[in-house]
Amino acid sequence: MIEIRDVDYRTAERTLVSDIDLVVRPGELTAISGTSGSGKTTLLSVVGGLVRPSTGSVLLDGEATWRGSGDPLPAMSFILQVYGLVPILSARENVSIALRARGVAARTADDDAEEMLDRLRIGDLSSRQVEELSGGQLQRVACARALAVKAPVLLADEPTSELDHTSRDLVMGLLRERAEAGATVVVATHDDEVVDQCDVHHRMDEGRLVSVSTPG
């Protein structure tokens, strides 16, 4: 369980998120929506321990997610808007290195990477360097990397923004699968159809949570 208590995040110029107070539970798909600039990405960065909150705290099962360095807890995995892939590596290698970093043997990591790329219907592109891939293909590789490690917490920042409806629903199905396995899954999105596939919906505006609802 993630507990976000009275969190603000400020820069020298302005406040990016303010008065965030909520609990995110495992086993649920949680959506955070809002327009560009509403604070979604900043909030995920704070929740994931990538940046330190200016005030307040974020706890994962009682442990602070900010560790003093910007390095996330091992329990965290991320789908980033900017993908965060290594350009000189292949799609398979980008997924495999994430698994190896968590102690998975090289052969098993390669096999697991291939399996997840297949599930995202880009297995035929596994040997291509990511710099040769389209935006939608890059996004699916980024999703494969985050999903393959099967972390207890998955924070996804606009994971379907480059995808068509079929690929979007495929990714959402895999995120649902992780939640049903007991993971805590948070999806930042501006897509109402993504929100509709989640269990809980928090809407942000100008850095604040302004509403909560249960889609469907």
Residues 71-99: tens digit of each pLDDT: 999 999 999 988 999 999 999 999 999 99
Q: In this predicted structure, what is the pLDDT of residue 215?
A: 84
Fold of 1-70+184-216: Rossmann fold (3.40.50)
| Maximum CA extent, the chain | 48
User: Where are the domains positioned within the chain?
Assistant: 1-70+184-216
**pLDDT confidence of 49, banded at 50, 70, 90?**
very high
**What beta strand segments (E) does the chain contain?**
2-10, 15-24, 29-33, 55-60, 63-64, 76-79, 153-157, 184-189, 200-205, 208-213
Distance separating alpha carbons of residues 81 and 196, to the nearest angstrom? 20
pLDDT digits (tens, 9 = 90+) for 150-163: 999 999 999 999 99
- The pTM (predicted TM-score) of the whole model is 0.95
